[in-house]
Amino acid sequence: MSDFEPKIVAFFCNWCTYGAADLAGVSRLDYPPNFRVVRLPCTGRLNPKFIMEAFKRGADGVWISGCHPGDCHYIAGNYHARRKFVLMHQLLESIGVDPNRLRFSWISSAEANKFQAMARDVVEHVKACGPNTTFRKEDLKLGLAEVA
Amino acid sequence: MPEYLVKESGLKEFFQSLANGRHLLTPQGTGDKCKLEEAGPDKVNLDYSNTHMSPKSAFFPQSENLMAFHNKSDKPNPFVYQDLGDKAQPTVIFGIRPCDARGLSISNRVFQNDRFTDPYWKGKYEQTIKIGLACASPSPQCFCAAMGGSPYGELGLDVLAFKVEGGLGLKPVTAQGEELIKQTNAAQEDLAQEIKKQEAKAIEAQGVGTDLKPIDDKDLMELFQDPHWTATAENCLNCGVCTFFCPTCHCFDIQDEQSEQGGIRMRNWDTCMSWLFTVHGTGHNPRPSKTERVRQRFMHKLKYIPLKQDGIRGCTGCGRCVVMCPVNIDIREVALKMCQPPAQSQA
Amino acid sequence: MPALSDINSKIRESARKLLADGRAEVVIGYRQGTVPMTTSPMFARKPAECDQLIWSNFARINLANYLPGRPGKVALVAKGCDARSAVGQVTENQILKDNLYIIGVPCTGMIDTNLVLAKETRPIKELVETTDEAITVKGEGFSTEINKADVLRRNCQTCANRTPKLADELIGPETPGANPDDFADIKALLNKTPDERMAYFKDLIKDCLRCYACRNACPLCYCPICFVDETRPQWLGKSTDPMDTLTFHILRGLHCSGRCTSCGACETACPVNIKVREFNRVTELTVQNNWHYEAGQSWDQKPPLTMFQTDDQADFIK
């Protein structure tokens, strides 16, 4: 499984982690390219169905990152988000989703180094989990002989 | 057609010959676990009130793939929807209750008529021989007789089976059914009087049904505009339980799903109880509240289907919706309200 | 052990008075169902209609479900859990407190029909219930008495608050609660391996028909458009694909978190007997552990997901 390259969906807050990703880029900090970023105005915008949609469509991991508590551009968005994260994290873990597939972090736009380290950490852990085979929609059974 | 008899000692052989070269589906389990399954000819359960769900899913599954395409450019016909064809196989279903068989015949006229033929339904329906098992002992929720059926009804069946002392009586209804019976160890026997006797007893046990003729006589718009609908619908939760369990509900929703390999067009059961069922692309919904949705269900069962199908009611009296409904909306009570003159039904 | 007929007459008396005084325009209660072991919601608007109101060991559907957005003054016949749901709806601004009158019935738990059917497998044609402690079911050639304690619903077995304490009036004396839900089974489940847990939850919902009776019977589910009915974009496939079904149950569990009063209406409504509440119980356990909150216990508490503390703990966020 060493050549497994996971697909990870990342949800970043526009004001912090997205900025950190930019800063990491312009600082020429090297990080793995396995995640596709969805930019959110705030982690408070994250609806649990986004996470489910990503997994359902076969994402191997989901990474959610926003401003440090207290630094929210909208004053309290991430405080509210934090309570939701606790529930999502706990429920999905209880259902048997490997917690390494669903990662959360607070990264400010100045923390390019933390972004780099976290990106590496997330990808490494998802790689260790292997491909997501159980928590996704199964491939459609097309039933066309020539595709089988 | 003459009746046939299988002696109790010959039942095993009888079911073996039914299963010969065909899939044999029989009711398995009791109570709410009872469902039609292929369990082999040696495991046939004659002691059940009715299957938990109606047998419609044997012909009209909850989800059915209709067409598919693939996206492999190096293979023939990429991105072209192809019919997934009909994979129906010769089947015998034993133990359909007469109410459910009646339901199948009603759905059959929706899926196959002089205007449309649904190939997916047709393939399965025509390759299946339907053997009913008459109800000698009706449940409290049963009211097939009130809806124009009978616990010994034959509509929709190829053969009607009924328990008799020391064996199983069989009454062929169609030529296809008689053909099948002749291939078995069943021997001819005159049981016409026995059926009549049992049927009268079973109908009596069900109690006197309501006379629903006023619904047939009333004008459609009069029924539609009757003020009782708001009160009738007030209880309703608008879940889809009644429609999913109903032997005659046949509405579906066509959906396309795609994956990295291609896509599928499927149809799934839908329910008129759902807000989504009628909402338009514009956002307008002609049935905006549960009153309209509840009215639709009962009007469809008791007025629209009879108008389209020569007076045969769209409810067969199986009683599933009565028991399954979380708030016990009883179609018999609704039918009574529909029978009332408008002034009285307002209360 | 009050006789049901006593409770019935007290409910009717109260309902008549509320309607006559104009304290309520409608009394939402239960009436006898048309087949054994069922009840049906009843909307009494005239004093004469109050005679149909009953109490039963099968008054399982949560009538608070009919409150959200209801205009005018309304009285609700409520068990402990139903009253908590109604209080929750007041705190969620779904109905004005001034418009609500709760006729609280101290409850002794409700019966799970499936457990009755498991005990008495012969076809049941008649039910006799005179007290709230036992029932008698009858059929052809048998009459079986069943002790209610043996056939209580799962949620009623672990209900610590059977008396609707915040009700405007109580019908009869307070009833003692059972052993509170200690979530022992959920905790045991969480000790299993992730694969076992995934298999457990997938198996739990394998019969789901996606009829959404659980959602519609739930007093918490009052969104004008549910996420399963959204089409632009469409979040869930319409087939019974296991992952689509699991997604529905997970998201429903999350939506109800911190709000569920364990009334069990979802499990009662489920036509294929799925333990729907299992998802809710995981989230309730999380809510109680983290924010020490139980829904519907007071008029002025704020639902945990509408508020926060700056020092909320979430160590898993790096």
B315 close to B304: Cβ distance less than 8 angstroms = no
Residue in C61, C124, C271 closest to B241 by CB? C271
Q: How many residues in total does chain A contain?
A: 148
**B307-316 confidence digits (pLDDT tens):** 999 999 999 9
Mean pLDDT of C227-247: 92
- The reply to whether B218 and B143 lie within a common domain is no
pLDDT at A2: 65
- CB-CB under 8 Å, C195 with A136: no
Q: What is the percent of chain C with per-residue pLDDT over 70, rounded to a whole number? A: 100
Residue C311 has pLDDT above 60, yes or no: yes
What are the chain A neighbours of B260 within 8 Å (beta carbons)? 58, 139
Instruction: Assess B73–A contact: CB distance below 8 Å, yes or no.
Output: no
pLDDT at C97: 93
- CB-CB under 8 Å, B262 with A140: yes
- CB-CB under 8 Å, C257 with A104: no
ipTM at complex level: 0.93
- Asked whether residue B237 is assigned to any structural domain, the reply reads yes
- The reply to whether B173 and B101 lie within a common domain is yes
C256 close to C220: Cβ distance less than 8 angstroms = yes
Instruction: Calculate how close chain C gets to B241, using CA atoms only, in Å.
Output: 6
pLDDT at C284: 93
**Burial status of residue A143 (CB atoms within 10 A of its CB: 0-12, 13-18, 19 or more):** middle
What are the chain C neighbours of A118 within 8 Å (beta carbons)? 318
**C118-159 confidence digits (pLDDT tens):** 998 888 888 999 888 899 999 888 999 999 999 999 999 999
Largest CA distance in chain A: 57
- CB-CB under 8 Å, C308 with A91: no
Structure tokens at C313: 């703990």
- The reply to whether B199 and B224 lie within a common domain is no
- Asked whether residue B262 is assigned to any structural domain, the reply reads yes
pLDDT at B343: 61
**B4-37 confidence digits (pLDDT tens):** 999 989 999 999 999 989 999 999 887 778 889 8
The dotted CATH code for A8-129 is 3.40.50
Lowest pLDDT segment from B101-115, B116-130, B331-345: B331-345
pLDDT at B106: 95
What are the chain C neighbours of A95 within 8 Å (beta carbons)? 197-198, 201, 246, 250, 282
**A12-26 confidence digits (pLDDT tens):** 999 999 999 999 999
pLDDT at B49: 85
- The reply to whether B52 and B24 lie within a common domain is yes
**A43-85 confidence digits (pLDDT tens):** 999 999 999 999 999 999 999 999 999 999 999 999 999 999 9
- CB-CB under 8 Å, B266 with C34: no
C184 close to C261: Cβ distance less than 8 angstroms = no
Mean pLDDT of C228-244: 91
Instruction: Assess A80–C contact: CB distance below 8 Å, yes or no.
Output: yes
- The reply to whether B239 and B107 lie within a common domain is no
pLDDT at A147: 55
Distance between alpha carbon B62 and the CA centroid of its chain, in Å? Answer: 13
- The reply to whether B183 and B238 lie within a common domain is no
pLDDT at B347: 45
pLDDT band, very low/low/confident/very high, at B344 (cuts 50, 70, 90): low
pLDDT at B103: 95
Contacts 24+ apart (CB under 8 A), B192-201: B192/B3, B194/B162, B194/B164, B194/B169, B195/B3, B195/B134, B195/B152, B195/B162, B195/B169, B195/B171, B198/B134, B198/B136, B198/B152, B198/B162, B199/B134, B199/B150, B199/B151, B199/B152, B201/B136
Q: What are the boundaries of each domain within chain A?
A: 8-129
**C24-68 confidence digits (pLDDT tens):** 999 999 999 999 999 999 999 999 999 999 999 999 999 999 999
Residue in C217, C229, C240 closest to B63 by CB? C240
Q: Which of B206, B225, B256 is the last residue of a domain?
A: B206
**Could you tell me which chain B residue has the CA closest to the CA of C227?**
B276
What are the chain A neighbours of B67 within 8 Å (beta carbons)? none
Beta bridge partners of residue A65, listed in sequence order = A12, A105
Please give the angle made by the CA atoms of A80, A84 and A85, to the nearest 5 degrees: 110
User: What is the distance between the alpha carbons of residues B283 and B174, in angstroms, rounded to a whole number?
Assistant: 49
Could you tell me how many CB contacts below 8 A there are between chain B and chain C? 106
**C160-175 confidence digits (pLDDT tens):** 889 999 999 999 888 8
List chains adjacent to chain A, taking adjacency as at least 3 C-beta pairs closer than 8 Å.
Answer: B, C
Residue B228 has pLDDT above 50, yes or no: yes
**B76-90 confidence digits (pLDDT tens):** 888 899 988 777 899
Q: Which of B148, B173, B206 is the last residue of a domain?
A: B206
Residue B346 has pLDDT above 60, yes or no: no
- CB-CB under 8 Å, A146 with B70: yes
- The reply to whether B286 and B148 lie within a common domain is no
Of C62, C154, C171, the residue nearest C109 (C-alpha): C154
Instruction: Assess C229–B contact: CB distance below 8 Å, yes or no.
Output: yes
Q: What are the boundaries of each domain within chain C?
A: 4-306
User: What is the distance between the alpha carbons of residues B261 and A42, in angstroms, rounded to a whole number?
Assistant: 34
pLDDT band, very low/low/confident/very high, at B45 (cuts 50, 70, 90): confident
Residue C3 has pLDDT above 90, yes or no: no
- Asked whether residue B263 is assigned to any structural domain, the reply reads yes
Lowest pLDDT segment from A96-100, B143-147, C1-5, C194-198: C1-5
- Asked whether residue B65 is assigned to any structural domain, the reply reads no
**B243-298 confidence digits (pLDDT tens):** 999 999 999 999 999 888 899 999 999 999 999 999 999 989 999 999 999 999 99
Mean pLDDT of the residues in chain B: 90
List chains adjacent to chain C, taking adjacency as at least 3 C-beta pairs closer than 8 Å.
Answer: A, B
- CB-CB under 8 Å, B330 with C34: yes
Residue B75 has pLDDT above 70, yes or no: yes
Instruction: Calculate how close chain A gets to C133, using CA atoms only, in Å.
Output: 37
- The reply to whether B248 and B289 lie within a common domain is yes
List chains adjacent to chain B, taking adjacency as at least 3 C-beta pairs closer than 8 Å.
Answer: A, C
- Asked whether residue B9 is assigned to any structural domain, the reply reads yes
- The reply to whether B177 and B223 lie within a common domain is no
**Structural domain count, chain B:** 2
Domain carrying residue B21? 4-60+71-206
The beta strand positions in chain B, using DSSP E, are 4-7, 23-28, 35-37, 63-70, 82-83, 91-96, 128-133, 159-164, 167-172, 187-188, 252-258, 262-269
Chain C stretch 85-124, residues whose beta carbon is closer than 8 A to a beta carbon of chain B:
114, 117, 121, 123-124
